[in-house]
Amino acid sequence: MKTENRFLKPTPVQYLEKLPGGQEIFIKREDLLGFSFGGNKCRIGAAFLEDMRRRGADYMVSYGSRKSNLNRVMAALCRSRKIPCLIISPQEEGVQEDGFNAVLADDMGAERVFCERSAVADTVEDTLRSLKARGYQPYYIYGDAHGMGNEETARSAYRDAYDEIRRWEEKNQVEFQAIFLASGTGMTQGGLLAGRRERGGREEIVGISVAREEKAGAAAVRRYAGMGNESICFETDYRCGGYGIYDAGIENVIQTMMERHGIALDPVYTGKAYAGMLRWLDRYGDKIRNVLFIHTGGLPLYFDYLNKRMEVER
């Protein structure tokens, strides 16, 4: 009982509502994972940290935008273990507000290195070389400087979460015909697909792309899943123009979710994915009865969204 359970897994699954098309929607509250505002990146970050420990490394190197949920969690996890953490971030064009995830990562003492988007691989290599020269054994979460080679670690997080879902289904005698989630890097969807393969599951696992186009996005998901050319559901019709872009339809879904269920969705990931899911089910969901939406968290982005709205209204 005194063993640490900082994530408070398994996360609860909650019944939400019946859609006009007859589908019953359930939601898995990954946003309530108990560490650093929760979200899928808790599980994924923990998998990286564990892999790092196994390999005997002592310096965490991550990559991602200033607004990244993963890097917020990564910085917090490292801090809690007293492991130094360095985040390489692309130089964004134009002046942008940083948002809460950036502040939270800074608070946790993460070191930050900026680079041009075209120079990521070089920057990763330089960073790793310089850390080694200083006597550290650095760990780069994505594998090699081109971001390849550590898919298995990322995959393990949601392969395990897939098992959690199966156990819930068995216990509650509910069978999901489809699982929906926001699909960005492909790590979460890839892990779920790997879990499904292992367990012989048959539900659709539908990734709603929040940014990437079909080709690059599906390739990333397959890579993280450890799959070949098997068909996957990576849906690019609901991207609303690209990463971080949203419209009145998505804002309406966010508002409705809060009104009906008191659950916060953000416009970058979960709100876009939920809105996409509703449209997908309307088009293709005839034969689907029970649906699980995975709330992948990202709470700081919800408050960024409120900040942005408050600025506009001022």
Smallest separation, CB 265 to a second copy (Å): 13
Smallest separation, CB 142 to a second copy (Å): 23
Cβ nearer to a second copy, comparing 11 with 183: 11
Cβ nearer to a second copy, comparing 105 with 128: 105
Cβ nearer to a second copy, comparing 36 with 156: 36
Token reading at 7:
């994530």
**Cβ atoms of 246 and 211 closer than 8 Å:** no
CA atoms of 125 and 127, how far apart (whole Å): 5
Cβ nearer to a second copy, comparing 105 with 232: 105
Smallest separation, CB 186 to a second copy (Å): 25
Closest CA to 69 of 95, 34, 31: 31
**Cβ atoms of 12 and 269 closer than 8 Å:** no
Cβ nearer to a second copy, comparing 41 with 222: 41
Residue 145 identity (one-letter amino acid): A
String of DSSP letters for 32-72: G-SSTT-SHHHHHHHHHHHHHHHTT--EEEEE--TT-HHHH
Interaction site with a second copy (CB under 8 A): 1-6, 8, 12, 14-15, 24, 29, 32, 34-37, 76-77, 79-80, 100, 103-104, 107-108, 172-174, 255, 258-264, 299-300, 303, 306-307, 309-310
Nearby residues of 29 by Cβ (< 8 Å), 6 or more positions away: 11, 12, 13, 14, 295
Smallest separation, CB 300 to a second copy (Å): 8
Smallest separation, CB 211 to a second copy (Å): 25
**Cβ atoms of 224 and 187 closer than 8 Å:** yes
Cβ nearer to a second copy, comparing 133 with 312: 312
**Cβ atoms of 69 and 44 closer than 8 Å:** no
Smallest separation, CB 172 to a second copy (Å): 5
